Structure 1
Amino acid sequence: MREAGIPIKKVEPKKPSGSERALAYLTSWSKNPEEWKFQKTRQTWLLLHMYDKEKVPDKYFPILLDYLQGLQGNARDKTVQKAEAFMKEFDGSDGEDPDLLGKCERIRQVLQLLS
């Protein structure tokens, strides 16, 4: 085929998404702590998306709460500050949207854990 001038397409294996990698990181932390290694990018992804039920499904959220207990320093302080800011933002809303209610519940749990 190469001699005939027909380009050969290589099939690249599908790379895991950021979500898949972060959730695998969290699962590894929970189930294989002796093999687990801290990865700042995975932690950052989790902290940015932890209130989104599509990105961090409900079955992972209790594991994430356990993980957050060990959060230290600036990451812990910023997480609390962001959660408080989100809560103030949502206090002014009507409270009818089920997605918003789920997000508020997660925020409340995070604040309760870290405060």
Structure 2
Amino acid sequence: MAKKSSKHNPDPDIETPDETPSPNQVKKKRKAEGEQQVDTSTGEPLKKRKKHRRDAMEEAEKDTRDATAEAPPKKKRHKNRTGLADPREDTVLSNQARKGLEYAFLQFHRPSKWKFNKARQNWIIRNVWSAENVPEMYLPLVIKYLTNVQGGSRTKLIETCQSILDKPHKPEAENPEEKPALKVHVPAPLPVEVAAVGDERARAQTLLDVLALPTEVQ
């Protein structure tokens, strides 16, 4: 009968020495033990807690940057050097009046940004006679703009001025008991002479005098 190998039938009374673990096994064992370690106060794995702490620090730094970030710079407003009244700051004008007057103002304030708009020009031509839509302080601006109008619009504008002046003019009867109206002076440079502003007839005469001049003189 063949004798069985002691390798397959180890003696239980004899201890078999443990095999020496490889470096990779040691590394994996330590990694597993590290993942299983928990914080006794929170019960969370230490690695996960470190991640949460890092996220919290990053969030705090972000909030600090947002709080200390400078406000976006305001758009620089170009100084008015035209000598004309600026309608952009007038809160009394109607919405349509402001758009029309701002359109005319932009032509002289920032010519490179100005673009022709037929609707805006037609509004100015229709309302140049209205002291409500075109107050006294903006009449020099409107007249200066209209001096550059050409073609059929210019011809029609001259005809309108002439028709207003051809109407019979009835001066109002003077009342000795009526107190004279106070004249309010508006400190605005006038590039053209404007007399009796607010009177349709006076506006027509002033505009006609300017339109009658040669273009190069204007």
TM-score for both structures, normalised by structure 2: 0.42
Shift >4 Å, 4+ stretches: 97-101
How does 1:1-115 map onto structure 2 within 5 Å? 17-89=95-167, 92-96=168-172, 102-115=199-212
Could you give the per-residue CA deviations for residues 68-93 of structure 1, whole angstroms, max 9, x where no partner exists?
A: 2211010000000011111112xx13
Counterpart residue identity of residue 170, structure 2? D
**Kept in 2: contact 1:95–1:101 (CA 8 A):** no
Aligned-residue CA RMSD in angstroms? 2.3
Structure 1 contact 86–107 (Cα < 8 Å) conserved: yes
Q: What is aligned with 1:5?
A: none
Residues 30 and 63, structure 1, Cα contact 8 Å, conserved in 2: no
Give me the whole-angstrom Cα distance separating, in 2, the residues matched to 1:28 and 1:100. 23
Distance 1:39 1:79 in 2: 17
CA distance in 2, matches of 1:69, 1:100: 18
User: Which has the higher relative contact order, 1 or 2, with Cα contacts under 8 A spaced 6 or more apart?
Assistant: 1
TM-score (norm 1): 0.76
Residues 22-72 of structure 1: per-residue CA shift (max 9 Å, x gap): 011111112111101110000000000101111001111111111122110
In the aligned structure 1, how far is the partner of 2:137 from the partner of 2:162? 24
Over the matched positions of the two proteins, sequence identity in percent amounts to 26
- Note the alpha carbon deviations across 1:7-35, whole angstroms, 9 max, x for none: xxxxxxxxx72212101111111211110
* Distance 1:58-1:94 versus aligned 2 partners, 3 A rule: same
Cα separation, 2, equivalents of 1:37 and 1:44: 14
Query: How many pairs are equivalent?
Result: 98
Structure 1 or 2, whichever has the larger Rg, is: 2
> Contact (CA 8 Å) 2:125, 2:157: kept in 1 or not?
yes
CA distance in 2, matches of 1:44, 1:67: 12
Return closer, same or farther for 1:100/1:70 CA change in 2, 3 Å cut-off: closer
Contact preservation (8 Å) 2:101, 2:142:
no
More helix by share: 1
